[in-house]
Every structure is written in C-alpha cells, then in structure tokens.
Structure 1
Amino acid sequence: MLPRFFIFTFLVFALFSCKEDNQEKKRITIPKDEKPKLNIHYENLSQGLFNVKTPKDVKIFLEKHPRFSAEYLEVPNAAADPKMVDFMFNLYSNPQLKSFYEESEKYINQPPYLKDQLTDLFENIKFYYPTYNAPEVNTIVTGFKFNKDISVSDSLVVISTDYFLGPKAQFRPVTYEYFLSRYDKPFIAPMIAMALSNKFNDVDPKDETMLAHMIYHGKTLYFMERVLPETPDSLLIMYPGKTVEDIEKNLDVIWGHFIDKKLFYETKPRIIEKYIGESPKISEIGEKCPGRIGRWLGWQIVRKYMKDHPDVTLQDLMADKNARKIFEESKYKPKKPTK
C-alpha cells in the first residue's frame, strides 16, 4: 500500500545551481488578482520558552499550546507530565541553546522570510482548493532534542528551525551526508508542500506496482510545482542542480534501464524501494544516478500527461487513482539528448 501520511525527519539540500533556471519547465502561475489573501497564524514558540523563569512557567506555556504538545511533542497533556516540564525548563534555561536560537532568528526569521514563503504556499493551495483551511505555523529551536525537523497536520505545522541553518551553522543534526546537505531554509516550504499534498493525493490501495509508486510521487511533485511555481526543480525534488542536468543528459539510459528490467509493473517491495526510496545512488543504473529516480521519472510522466490533457485540472489529477491510465495516456518517452 502506498504511504498516506509523512512526518519529515531528515530531509533537504543546501546549495543549488542557478544553471537549472535555463532548463526549468514553463510553470503555470496564478494571476495575482485571483489569488486569495490569507493572514496565517504564525507564532515563534522559542520567544516564550526562553522567557520562562520556573517550571511552573513551562507548565503554563504548555497549557496554552495543547496542539503543539500533542502533535510535535507527542504528549497529549504535556503540562501534566512533570518529567516533560522539567526537561523543557532545563533545555530552555541553557545559554548555549539561546545562542543557537539567535543564530536561527537571524538566518530564518529576520526578515520574515519563512512566514512570507508559507503564506504564499497556503494562498496557492487555497486557490486550487477553495475550501482549504491553512494550518497554524509554529517555529521552535529544540537543539535537535526531539529528533523531529518538521511536523505537519491539517491544523498545525511545527518547524524546528535549527535544523535548517545550512552548512555554516555552528551545530548540525547527525544524519547521512546526502541528507545533511539538504538542510537549509530554501527547502522548508517544499517539504511542507510535499506533506500537505498527501491530503489531496488519492491512490488505489490495491495497486502495489512500481508504476503506482512512481505516479503517486509524480503527482506529489506536480502538486508542489503548481503551489510553488517559482521554486526550481532542484529544490522540489531535492537534488543538486548539477544532478538534474546529469539526469537530463542520461535520461534515455535511465528510461532504457526501466524498460529492460521490466520495472514498471514490478511488485517486490525490496526492488521498488531501491528505485523509489532514499539512497545516495542507484548503482544498477550508474554511479552518478541519484536515489529516488523513480519519483523523478513519475514526475516527468505526470507533466507530460497534464501537458497533453489541458482540460484536466490539478484537482482532477490528484483525485485520479488510475496510475496505469495516466502512464499510458501520457505517451511519455524521453527524447534522446542532442549531442
């Protein structure tokens, strides 16, 4: 069965190439006069937590933020948990964490970079889905103590901003190198858009083929490009710009591998994970072929399908569970690169 919900831990990339701008597909943008205007609730929780003087202050804070407790801390009544209260009091009394917080504020919240990015994202989603209600947004610095970079639900998004301070940060999370390179602020909005897309992305639970996974992720990425139309492909797929260029140059080889190995209708989870899941490379195709290449191919199939079916709306696409139909009607076949 395809995944229905994502909590993102260890996702994003730091440096991307401006060269990709020349390759960017023509995006569908929303006219400014048609975009709904939203005033999202955006709260920096760290400001309150660094002002606590006693454990009782922490308890009062947690009582005022029950959704944060339930969804990010995963402790439904954290204010009544003495261990959690004491832990958070000690954590936010640490002067080193306060220094980390100040670094985070300068990089992400001054000027209000993140709030502007997310407001634009939520407004674009509401344009396509008029009944959509934007979630509240909380930011917090945690010192990586809760092992969670972003938590996303229909009602609340919590961002641990200290994960996203880029390669020059004084502290960085411990993870795989190819994951670590993604932790920077340009990737926060794409990560949230990816998580929010799950609400709209219908699937056929009986279809467990590689193709179903490819189209699922292709629909996700297409949703992301529609609600973040100014964001380069490299940020949406979370590849370096040079990697995208290399894929374009070798697309016929990649496509040929999928054809030769009869991968589209493969159902073995281990093989599907090899081409869809996270990994630094797929050596079966080539030493420079990045992980998740099946998602990228699914994106190109969906793009071709939508280009050839201008009457199909974004809502229609996301509600379509028939991966095989999308694949066959796209008639997608990569062009051989020009020498």
Structure 2
Amino acid sequence: MTRSAYGLSLGFVFLVFSSCGNSNEPCTLPDSYLEIPVEVRLHRMEQLFFEDLTEEKLTEHLENYPEFSSAMFGNMGFENEAQLKTELLLIHSDSGMQELYEEVAIHFDTVAEIEESLEDAFRGILFHFPEFKVPEVYTFVTGFGTDLIVEEDIIIIGLDYFLPEDHRFQPLELPQYIVKRYTEEHLIPTIVTAISSQFNQTDLGDRTLLAEMIFYGKAYHFAKTILPCTPDEYIIGYEKKEVIGSYANEEMIWGHFIENELLYETNAFEIRRYVGEAPFTDVISPDAPGRIGRWLGWNIVDDYRNNNNLSLSELMQQQDAREIFKLSGYKPR
C-alpha cells in the first residue's frame, strides 16, 4: 500500500462522512443493565493530602485508607514509613504541586458525571459477570506520576492527567499521540478495557501476532459491549478520522497481513510494529494509525462472537486465538 493510496482513501471517506452526517438517534443503555443496583462514590483523596496537610493528618490518612495508601505509595521504594511520610509532606507542600492541585480542584469541582458513568459501566459488567466485585474508586493528584491504577478491589484516577488538552499543565514526558487520549471521554473506556483483563483468558504459550491481536480484540469488544453508546474512537484511542480511514482501507490492511504471512509471526520486534504504541503503522503506511493489529483483532473478535452466537462470558473464556480466527469467518468489510 502506498502513502498516496491510503491518504486518498482517507480523504474520500471523510468527505462522504461529512456530507452524510452523524445519526441523530439517541443511544440508550439496555434496560437489563439499568435494572442492576450500583452506587459509586469517589473518594477525593487529593483533598485530604493537599489541604492543610500536617504530619498528624498524614498519619491519620495513611491509617484510615490502607488500601489506597498501599496501592498509591506502596511501590515508591522507601525504606520505612517515616521516610515515606517525610517525602509525602515535601511533595504535597511543594508550590508547583499545590498549584496543580488547585487547578484540578477548579476543573473537577464535581465528579458526579464520572460517578454516574462508572455506575453504568459496573452495571453492564455485573449483567454479564455477576461475580464481578465493584471496586472502591479514589481520585488523586499524582504530579503526572500515575494516570490510572486498576486492580480488582481498587481504582485510582490521577485527575491531573485528565485536565483539558489545552490546559497549561500537561504530562510533558509523553508523546502527543498518547497525550491526546487523556481526556474525560477516554477515561471510562480506558478503565473498562483494563477491567476486561480480569476475564480475558489467554493461552500464555501462544506468542504469535495473532494471539496479541485477539487479546486486544477481546478487550475492546468487552469495552464496547459494556459501553454500547461510546464511540469506537474512545474505545481504541483513535481519532474519528482514523477509525473511518481504517474501515475504508480494511481490505488493503488485511492484504498486508496475509501477503506478509504475519498472523503466526513470533518475532517480538515484528509484533510490536503492529500492536505496540506508535503514532502510525509505518510498515503499512504513514497514514495508517498505530496499533492497527489491535484494531484488526477487534474486527475478528466481533465476527467470531456474532457468527457463533456466544455470550460475552463465553467469548472471554475462549483462550485459543487460532480457533477464534478460524470460526470468525472474518473477511474485510
């Protein structure tokens, strides 16, 4: 595929899309999701650790929230609790950190929308996986040190990462193609995709590119099922034009994988080219978005579930990537 071919296809589809417009039909969650009782209340830990913090208050906070303290500070490498307290007092009294906290407090003066969105997401997960345990959810200001911690019992959201993209505080060490995914629209899909790993059974002995594609495909299918009203671009972290362009060029993308016999490739460097973080998949085209193998795996998984009448639970339990591919009947649109 040449650069001009991919670029022309992108431009053509974008013009068609612009002239047709988006569907105005509102999306609503299934009643089966909404009937499940869930209540989420975010613990605003940044308020405790930044407002009038003293050694006595710090000790109290660490003792009162041991789960949060362990997840947030347990891997900071301090020799003892006294050293941890000293460092936390220095960090949270730093003028720059205080300014960052104040900006977060202004922008996130309420987190009601995040709470409501998490409630809807957890309802969807519980509908498909009744054994799911709703985690405690905390917010914090990490100084761009930690964006998200998602574990079975706890979720911590680094709110500073999710300030508006035009805000003067930004995680400068990250490339722009990753920074653009740190928006409030991406927050819940990212959390749900991370939660999918609790249910995403895989064959750890399968080191092929296909196995990687299917793993991510199952994760994105999980997130889209739980969040049916969320546009694909927020699930996978593409721009809308990248989603449109990928579908428009799906046959060429698939042709590249088949012609180069990539599905059963086991070379880690080659695999990273197609599923690793990158601004674009240069071996296909400078216009092809990065992680294109994950997107292709998502399409294969969609077809596998749809063509075999499987529940989400049955899909996530299937470990055999080759079987998923074989029974998917996948063909480019």
Q: The TM-score by the shorter chain falls in which range?
A: 0.7 to 0.9
Bigger relative contact order, structure 1 or 2, given CA contacts below 8 A and separation 6+?
A: 1
- Following the alignment from structure 1 to structure 2, what is the Cα–Cα distance between the partners of residues 115 and 219? 25
Deviations 1:33-66 (A, max 9, x none): 7631112242000111223442221121111111
Q: Deviations over 1:279-304 (max 9, x none)?
A: 11111111111111010000001111
Show the counterpart of 1:5.
none
The CA deviation at 1:78 is 7.9
C-alpha distance 325-33 of structure 1, shift in aligned 2 (>3 A): closer
Is the 8 Å Cα contact of residues 213 and 297 (structure 2) preserved in structure 1? yes
Is this contact kept in 2: 1:59–1:79, CA < 8 A?
A: no
1:307 matched to 2:324? The reply is no
Residue in 2 that maps onto 1:206: 205
Counterpart amino acid of residue 197 in structure 1: S
Q: Distance in 2 between matches of 1:153 and 1:285?
A: 35
- 1:166 positional shift: 2.3
Partner of 2:155: 157
- Listed one character per residue, the Cα deviations across residues 89-145 of structure 1 (whole Å, up to 9, x for unaligned) are 23323454344334323434525121111111111111111121110000011222x
Match of 2:215 in 1: 216
Shift >6 Å, 4+ stretches: 17-21, 76-79
Where does residue 43 of structure 2 map in the other structure? 43
Q: CA deviation at 1:215?
A: 0.8
2:320 aligns with 322
Contact 1:49 1:92 in 2 (8 A): yes
- CA drift of 1:240 comes to 0.4
- CA–CA distance in 2 between the matches of 1:282 and 1:168? 27
Higher helix content, 1 or 2: 2
Residue 62 of structure 1 aligns with which residue?
Answer: 62
2:181 maps to: 182
Which residue pairs with 1:286 in the alignment? 285
Residue correspondence of structure 1 range 231-250 to structure 2 within 5 A: 231-250=230-249
8 Å contact from structure 2 (residues 32, 127) kept in 1: no
Change (3 A) 1:116 1:79: farther
Q: Are the counterparts in 2 of residues 44 and 140 from structure 1 also a CA contact under 8 Å?
A: yes
TM (norm. structure 2) is 0.87
**Structure 1 residue matching 2:93: 3-state secondary structure:** coil
Contact 1:70 1:77 in 2 (8 A): no
Choose 36-45 or 82-91, whichever is displaced more.
Answer: 82-91
Give the Cα separation in 1 of the matches to 2:33 and 2:230.
20
| Aligned equivalent of 2:165 | 167
Shift of 1:179: 1.0
1:252 deviation in Å? 1.2
Across the two proteins, how many residue pairs are aligned to each other?
Answer: 315
Which secondary structure state, in structure 1, belongs to the residue aligned with residue 190 of structure 2? helix
Match of 1:331 in 2: 329
Q: Structure 2 vs 1, CA of residues 109 and 128 (structure 1 numbering), >3 Å: closer, same or farther? A: farther
Q: Which residue of 2 aligns with 1:227?
A: 226
The alpha-carbon distance between structure 1 residues 29 and 325, as it changes in their structure 2 partners (threshold 3 A), is farther
Residue 6 of structure 2: aligned partner? none
Q: Which amino acid aligns with 1:155?
A: D
Task: Report the residue type matching 1:198 in the other structure.
Answer: S
- Identity across matched positions, percent: 33
Shift in Å, 1:278: 0.6
Structure 2: any 5+ residue segments left out of the alignment? 1-16
TM-score (norm 1): 0.86
Write the mapping of 1:68-217 to structure 2, written as runs, cut at 5 A.
68-75=68-75, 81-110=81-110, 112-144=112-144, 147-174=145-172, 175-217=174-216
Shift of 1:224: 0.4
CA separation of 1:63 and 1:41: change in aligned 2, threshold 3 A: same
**Residue by residue, what CA displacement relative to the aligned partner does 1:176-219 show, whole Å, maximum 9, x if unpaired?**
12111211111111111111100100011221111111111110
RMSD over aligned CA atoms reads 2.7
1:264 Cα shift? 0.7
